[in-house]
Amino acid sequence: MAAETAGPTDSPAARAVGLLRRTGFAVRAALGRRDGRVTAGVVAVAYALAYGVGVGHLGLRGPARGSATGPGPVVEVAVASDPLALLTRRVGPFQYEPVALVTVGPVEYLFAPVNAAIGLGLAALVGATLAVSVVARRGPAACRLGAGAGAAAGVPGILSGFACCGPTLLLAIGVQASAGLLAVLGWFLPLSAAGLVATLLWVGSRVDPDAVG
Amino acid sequence: MKRSRRSALAGLAAVGGAGVAGCLGGVVRDSFGGEVSDGDGAGDGAGGNGDGSGGDSERDSDGERVDGSDAGGRPPTVEADYHLAYEADELRSEALSGGVGKDGIPSIDEPSFRPIGEVNYAEGIPVFGVARDGEAKAYPRHVLSRHEIVNDEIGGESVAVTYCPLTGTAQGFRRGDTTFGVSGRLVNSNLIMYDRATDSWWPQMLATGIDGPMAGGTLDEFRVVWTTANAWAERHPESLVMTDETGYVRRYESDPYGSYAPLGGYYAKEATLFPPLSSPDEGHPKSVVIGARTEAGAVAFDKATLLADRVLTGSVADGDGGEERVVAVADPGLFTGYVYRNPDGLTVEPDGDAYRVDSEGGGFAAADLPLEPVLALDAMWFAWAGFYPDTAFVGEHTGAGDGR
């Protein structure tokens, strides 16, 4: 299976198409290997969990404050009164209204469908990028992929996970908020998504098609 | 199989697309954004200790209230202004986003309640108590911290009970036919509310409009008691308590800023999340004061000192270059305090859990002294001093919290 590559004399559009194809090939090839699939799966799940924690949708229950009925069941699902109306209600930059609270033992998860989709999308990007990176580095032939590719993919992902909880993030690191800083925080998520896509394309462009597979 | 996978992906893309469209298509005005005296207490409106006359639009004993008509759905205002240390345009220019959009923190507009006796609260859980016209209600802090405003009715009157976690302030306002929402903006770390009739901006602590058609107006405020669930239940066993069935789902048992029982996180640290308008020279920023403002000045009583000493006397600027005497007394049962004007310098002394006032004998409840009440509220010291850098201070500076 050979990848199609763009020649040096091709137009920018053709070069872009070539880059996408080359990246697509690299991703497919990486996911075709067991180590690639494991890497993608583990990283994507870890990232999705981190994103959930970052936006405050996933975490441990706080201390019980009071109950009319005693301890609740181990698994409990509470749904908003009008979930369809709340589904796309935006509460902040790239943060949307949760429609259900799932409690499993000590763990709580607020299900906000749009944020869940965003989180899964970012997780897929991070997973694919690291899978390609890992497979390329472990491939039988030396490739041109630098060792920092994995880290480059991970940094914006980590930042995006906290993009929606800027003020509490600032509290944790002891930085006082300003209008400018808050404005920047509001764009962390799209910046992270763009960074991840760029990193994936860069990783894809650096992979030797003949060395992976 | 293949088809179902495509369907799932298409659904995911549609939801994601909706999200992006929502993000790009709307303008984000970004925020964070009581006690009643016990029902039998004195006063109302801008000068009372809480339990008010309820609903009627005309004046209190001082003739202060003049606009209670709720005309056009506007929130009722009072004629007597509170002292302000800053001009409205300066406050507007200092307002900044709290990180969420307008109504991103949704007010509770259809609260639900249950008898407080049916709930077994852990010790020390803070609630905001309101008792007006014979009806008592408690609003758990951990629920209100996720909504900041509840539009409710008490004693047949439309009110808003509000709470700002970052300044530690709980205040009640008559709202007329309209409701209040969270604007998404803050000033001096304090919640800026907006009314849904005129979209005017109202910083909660100031109770004064700073932008919009009602700029310069003063809301008709009433006392909200910051106490504990168990203390409130003991004082008002017939009280209702708001439940977490708000119509929304939130992690109500998890506070993103910290905790009050025990005190921790933002509520205990010296650091603030947003820059204050001004910083006091002394005192822990998160120590709690019982603050009171008059038309001409402001005074803060350290709450821990007040709860320990029971009575504190001080003075507040009178606007004519002089000062008028004020006295604060503690209500040990509810862990709160009340402030009164004391122009004649009458002696106020504890008398059991009540008080003795000069020659008029004893037995006066803290909320019901035979003096003119000044509306008071709990506040973090940095927030009070930020809004009122010219405030008087009474007591000793103590650590974070109110010493309990």
Question: Which of A120, A168, A174 lies at the smallest CB-CB distance from B271?
Answer: A174
Report the percent of chain B where pLDDT is more than 70.
Answer: 82
Is residue B64 over pLDDT 50? no
User: Counting one residue from A and one from B, how many pairs have CB atoms under 8 Å apart?
Assistant: 150
Please name the residues in contact with B158: beta carbons below 8 A apart, sequence gap of 6 or more: B151, B152, B174, B175, B176, B177
| Grouped pLDDT means (10 residues each) for chain A, 213 residues | 49 86 88 91 92 89 64 85 93 90 94 94 89 74 50 55 56 72 76 82 73 53
Is residue B44 over pLDDT 70? no
Report the percent of chain B where pLDDT is more than 90.
Answer: 72
* Order of strands, sheet of B169-174, starting from the edge strand that comes earlier in the sequence: B149-154, B157-164, B169-174, B221-222
Per-residue pLDDT tens over the stretch B213-254: 999 999 999 999 999 999 999 999 999 999 999 999 999 988
CA dist list (Å): A7 to A14, A19, A21, A24: 9, 11, 13, 18
Per-residue pLDDT tens over the stretch B258-267: 999 889 999 9
Which of chain A's residues have a Cβ under 8 Å away from the Cβ of B140?
A: 65-66
Query: Do the Cβ atoms of B300 and B394 come closer than 8 Å?
Result: yes
The whole-number pLDDT of residue A69 equals: 55
Task: Please tell me whether the interface predicted TM-score (ipTM) of this complex is above 0.90.
Answer: no
Instruction: Report the candidate in B324, B274, B270, B335 with the shortest Cα–Cα distance to residue B298.
Output: B324
Q: How confident is the model at residue B97 (pLDDT cuts 50, 70, 90)?
A: confident
Taken as a whole, chain A contains a residue count of: 213
Q: Are B254 and A108 within 8 A, CB to CB?
A: yes
Amino acid letter at B187?
A: V
Q: Are A61 and B253 within 8 A, CB to CB?
A: yes
Which of chain B's residues have a Cβ under 8 Å away from the Cβ of A52?
A: none
Q: How confident is the model at residue B54 (pLDDT cuts 50, 70, 90)?
A: very low
The CA distance from A25 to the nearest CA of chain B, in Å, is 20
Q: Are A117 and B19 within 8 A, CB to CB?
A: yes
Task: Provide the residue range defining the domain that includes A156.
Answer: 12-57+112-211
Which of chain B's residues have a Cβ under 8 Å away from the Cβ of A63?
A: 122, 253, 259
> What is the C-alpha separation between A57 and B53, in angstroms, rounded?
43
A84 domain-assigned: no
Q: Are B104 and A80 within 8 A, CB to CB?
A: no
Q: Are A92 and B266 within 8 A, CB to CB?
A: no
A119 domain-assigned: yes
Which chain B residue is nearest to residue A64, measuring alpha carbons? Answer: B253
The whole-number pLDDT of residue A72 equals: 65
Domain residue ranges of chain B, discontinuous segments joined by +? 45-241, 288-394
> What is the C-alpha separation between B169 and A51, in angstroms, rounded?
32
Question: Which of A92, A99, A171 lies at the smallest CB-CB distance from B100?
Answer: A92
The CA distance from B120 to the nearest CA of chain A, in Å, is 5
Give how many domains chain A has, as a whole number: 1
Which of chain B's residues have a Cβ under 8 Å away from the Cβ of A182?
A: 30, 96-97, 99
Is residue B14 over pLDDT 80? no
Question: Which of B15, B99, B247 lies at the smallest CB-CB distance from A166?
Answer: B99
Cis before B256? omega within 30: no
Is residue B45 over pLDDT 90? no
The whole-number pLDDT of residue B58 equals: 39
B26 interface with A at CB cutoff 8 Å: yes
The CA distance from A126 to the nearest CA of chain B, in Å, is 17
Average pLDDT of chain B to the nearest whole number = 84
Q: Are B275 and A174 within 8 A, CB to CB?
A: no
The CA distance from B142 to the nearest CA of chain A, in Å, is 8
Per-residue pLDDT tens over the stretch A18-76: 888 888 888 998 899 898 899 999 999 998 998 898 888 999 987 756 655 556 678 99
B164 interface with A at CB cutoff 8 Å: no
Higher per-residue confidence, B15 vs B252: B252
The whole-number pLDDT of residue A8 equals: 53
The whole-number pLDDT of residue A184 equals: 76
Q: Are B15 and A117 within 8 A, CB to CB?
A: yes
Q: Are A96 and B22 within 8 A, CB to CB?
A: yes
Q: How confident is the model at residue B2 (pLDDT cuts 50, 70, 90)?
A: very low
Stated pTM of the model: 0.83
Is residue B74 over pLDDT 80? yes
Which chain B residue is nearest to residue A79, measuring alpha carbons? Answer: B249
A6 domain-assigned: no
Please name the residues in contact with B361: beta carbons below 8 A apart, sequence gap of 6 or more: none
**A55, A58, A65, best to mutate vs chain B, most B CBs in 10 Å:** A65
Of A87-91, A141-145, B146-150, B285-289, the least confident: A141-145
Q: Are B18 and A66 within 8 A, CB to CB?
A: no
The CA distance from A194 to the nearest CA of chain B, in Å, is 13
Of A57-66, B330-339, B387-396, the least confident: A57-66
B272 interface with A at CB cutoff 8 Å: yes
Q: What is the DSSP letter of B179?
A: -
The CA distance from B362 to the nearest CA of chain A, in Å, is 37
Q: What are phi and psi of B264, to 5 degrees?
A: -165, 170
